[in-house]
Structure 1
Amino acid sequence: MTHQTKEARNARATRGNLGRRGARLAAVGAMATAAAVLVVTPAFAKGSADLTASPKAVKVGQSVHVKGYGESDGLWYGQFCAQQRVGTKGAWHTVKCSHIVAMDGTEAKVDAAVKATHKGALQFRGVLYGVDGPRGGHPYVDRTTDVKTVRVS
């Protein structure tokens, strides 16, 4: 029969306590990290925006029918605008915007006719803006549609 000294028994007990404490601290640390990641990770709002431009080819002087909509459950109020540019580079210019609508299942819609005045490419896109309230104020881009190109001859 082996006898252990009091110091040896205390050392083994301390190592066991440290092992349990270490495991407990690791578990608490992992849970805290997971909670922090959940807090920092953004929630993605559901929504959509679409724009059509027809026909795909026109002659100078003819009109292009531009129609689109946008909705997002991440916004309180929104406004959808159709934009155009001549060519494939350069600044976008607003053609027409919808009324500001409450985004409670309602879509912001725009419908416009644009006259083609120059030969080349005429591009269109739709932009859904979030606004501060029912009367507007501080618009910010929520989502943008794909670019639609119309050839003008």
Structure 2
Amino acid sequence: MTATPALDAYDLKILRTLSADGRITWSDLAEAIGLSLTPTIRRVRQLEEAGYISGYFAQLDEKRLAGGMIAFVSVTLEKQVRETLDAFEAGVIDLPEVMSGFLMSGGADYLLRSVVRDLDHYRDFLDRLTRLPGVAHIQSSFALNAFVNRPSPLITAMK
């Protein structure tokens, strides 16, 4: 990554605009932030090189593709040694129901956000999850309603 100066108002406008519409044209982006085309493109490239923009992607409809039930699964392992953590993480990566996973502090070792079609699918997922190396305890909570779901950090909170 190339070092860049602190983010200014134009950089923040670029990040806000791209986080809302990653497919915006260069000219529309330039107009939205109030700069001409060449400086806009240069700034976006600098933000990419500095790592502020790590990629572009399509936001897919989880419910339509994977199922409508979101389960947050807390997993406690038998031991917290590197080999056990690595083996568990490698096994979780192969479970397509897991959308994101976090190594946690506190009571549980991991928190997994998973998406399943229904309870039968969840039961099958849970059966595969419990067979992973080192799993000692699992506790699940089902999401009733998502009221905030941002694709990227809230840019307006920065600066």
TM range (shorter): under 0.3
Structure with bigger strand share is 1
Larger radius of gyration: 1
Kindly indicate which of the two structures has a greater share of residues assigned to helix: 2
TM-score scaled by length of structure 2:
0.26
